[in-house]
Amino acid sequence: MMADAIPLEPQHDRPDPKVHAPADGGLAVLRLIRSRRVGATTFHRLLAEHGDAEAALAALPEIARAAGIGGYAPCPASQAEAEMAAGLRVGARLLTWDDPAYPARLRDIADAPPVLWVKGRADILDRLPIAVIGARNASSLGLRMARGLALGLAEAGAAVIGGLARGIDTVAHQAALEVGTVAVMAAGIDRIYPSENAALAEAICETGLLLTEQPPGSEPVARNFPARNRIISGLSRAVVVVEAAHRSGSLITAKAALDQGREVMAVPGHPMDARASGCNELLRDGALLVRNSQDVLAALMAEGGETRRTRRRIESQGQDATPAPVAAPLATIANRGTASLEARILAILGPAPTEENLLIRDLGIPAATIAPAVLKLELSGRIQRLTGGRIIRLD
């Protein structure tokens, strides 16, 4: 299949992909997302309620006070300015979610990162984005498969996306390096993990892109990897899993891809090989079986690129689909009388993640009534929002 047969992603008015100062308003957006207990989901709720980052910052102390949290202060401007300076010192560029150069596909997910630090050529994201991911302790057969897949996709004009991890991700990046590849990081833009991929990361910047939502200087910590995975899938039109164990980060990425309406594809493996169990499970549950890059491209080109998975999700909703909940004004927290509701929420939640829609169903209360109580518990540090609309209890 020739490269000119692959449709590019919609073109945007991207500036020249070189480092320059953040757009106007970048400081306020950065301050808001770096404020205590404000994650991506809460960030977008605040913007929807208050209109822009400056207004949301001004409202935060009162919102926190109404939630019973005294002395709350948003991230100071000096801290955000220091982060900007640190990023620029290492040659990175800050993209806020409303920047024209921000990846359009990623902007559409529910918990889109409010800010991204990028280094390299942002215009690579105008190509057809396909993630190639898999096990860190991959088999030699798995590594060969990943290398062939990534090379074939890159030669066809696709942008190969991965997580810069050992094993499958590393081989995929290397195979697509000459054409350009995108590495999504769980640490700061200047903290390459694993360290043995430092030279690879430097080479990626020449033809492709490094990308992270974490501040410069941030070390890789466990909680950031699932968040990183939803960016990998969010950027992608399809996610191809080459090898994955039963419980693995690759399956977290696949789950995020399904939630985001992306196509999930998998390479089958021997049923006796634990490294193939995750892929075989995905295939059992309806993922598209692929053997090479031609299978991937053919699936995405079929019927104008509409994926099987997307069609299934649409068809399964039918006439009885529950309409999206309308968010209640955040400023009404103090007037809800939510103490008993908070106790009920905490009683249902535990250390294992619970999907928010299941919490709403179990409580039997409208989402607009539950939302303020959830926000209060989040600001007070008793619960934490995770990627994919999941919540855990912290105490």
The tens digit of pLDDT for each residue in 34-83 reads 999 999 999 999 999 999 999 999 999 999 998 888 889 999 999 999 99
| Residue 308 shares a structural domain with residue 237 | yes
* 7-16, 300-309, 347-356: segment of lowest average pLDDT: 7-16
On average, the pLDDT of the chain sits at: 84
Considering the domain boundaries, does residue 179 fall inside one?
yes
Considering the domain boundaries, does residue 343 fall inside one?
yes
pLDDT at 340 > cutoff 90: no
| Residue 350 shares a structural domain with residue 262 | no
Q: Give me the DSSP letters along 165-197.
A: -TTHHHHHHHHHTTT-EEEE-SS-TT--SSGGG
What is the phi/psi pair of residue 39, to 5°?
Answer: -95, -175
| Residue 141 shares a structural domain with residue 262 | yes
Considering the domain boundaries, does residue 247 fall inside one?
yes
Q: What is the CATH number of the domain that holds 247?
A: 3.40.50.450
pLDDT at 254 > cutoff 80: yes
Strand-by-strand arrangement of the 383-386 sheet: 354-355, 390-393, 383-386
Number of structural domains the chain divides into: 2
| Confidence label for 318 from pLDDT (cuts 50, 70 and 90) | very low
Mean pLDDT of 78-104: 95
Considering the domain boundaries, does residue 49 fall inside one?
no
* 137-151, 204-218, 303-317, 371-385: segment of lowest average pLDDT: 303-317
Task: Give the residue numbers spanning the domain of 220.
Answer: 119-315
| Residue 170 shares a structural domain with residue 286 | yes
pLDDT at 243 > cutoff 60: yes
Question: Nearest CA to 380 among 344, 347, 339?
Answer: 339
What is the per-residue pLDDT for 224? 93
What is the phi/psi pair of residue 115, to 5°?
Answer: -135, 150
pLDDT at 219 > cutoff 70: yes
Q: What are the C-alpha distances in Å from 132 to residues 6, 103, 209, 212, 301?
A: 17, 18, 15, 18, 18
Mean pLDDT of 150-177: 96
pLDDT at 373 > cutoff 60: yes
The last residue of one of the domains, among 315, 339, 363, is: 315
What is the per-residue pLDDT for 331? 33
| Residue 176 shares a structural domain with residue 200 | yes
Considering the domain boundaries, does residue 13 fall inside one?
no
Q: What are the C-alpha distances in Å from 2 to residues 10, 60, 302?
A: 19, 53, 15
| Residue 231 shares a structural domain with residue 279 | yes
pLDDT at 306 > cutoff 80: no
| Residue 362 shares a structural domain with residue 219 | no
Considering the domain boundaries, does residue 31 fall inside one?
no
Considering the domain boundaries, does residue 217 fall inside one?
yes
Question: Nearest CA to 19 among 87, 113, 106, 80?
Answer: 87
pLDDT at 326 > cutoff 90: no
Mean pLDDT of 344-349: 84
| Residue 368 shares a structural domain with residue 224 | no
| Residue 212 shares a structural domain with residue 298 | yes
What is the per-residue pLDDT for 321? 33
Q: Give me the DSSP letters along 15-28.
A: PPSS--PPPTTHHH
| Residue 309 shares a structural domain with residue 382 | no
Mean pLDDT of 189-214: 97
| Residue 269 shares a structural domain with residue 384 | no
pLDDT at 95 > cutoff 90: yes
What is the per-residue pLDDT for 325? 34
For the chain, strand residue ranges (E) read 93-96, 115-120, 128-133, 158-162, 181-184, 209-212, 238-241, 263-266, 288-289, 354-355, 383-386, 390-393
| Type of residue at 292 | N
What is the per-residue pLDDT for 339? 64
What is the per-residue pLDDT for 140? 83
Considering the domain boundaries, does residue 274 fall inside one?
yes
Q: What is the CATH number of the domain that holds 344?
A: 1.10.10.10
The last residue of one of the domains, among 315, 346, 372, is: 315
What is the per-residue pLDDT for 388? 74
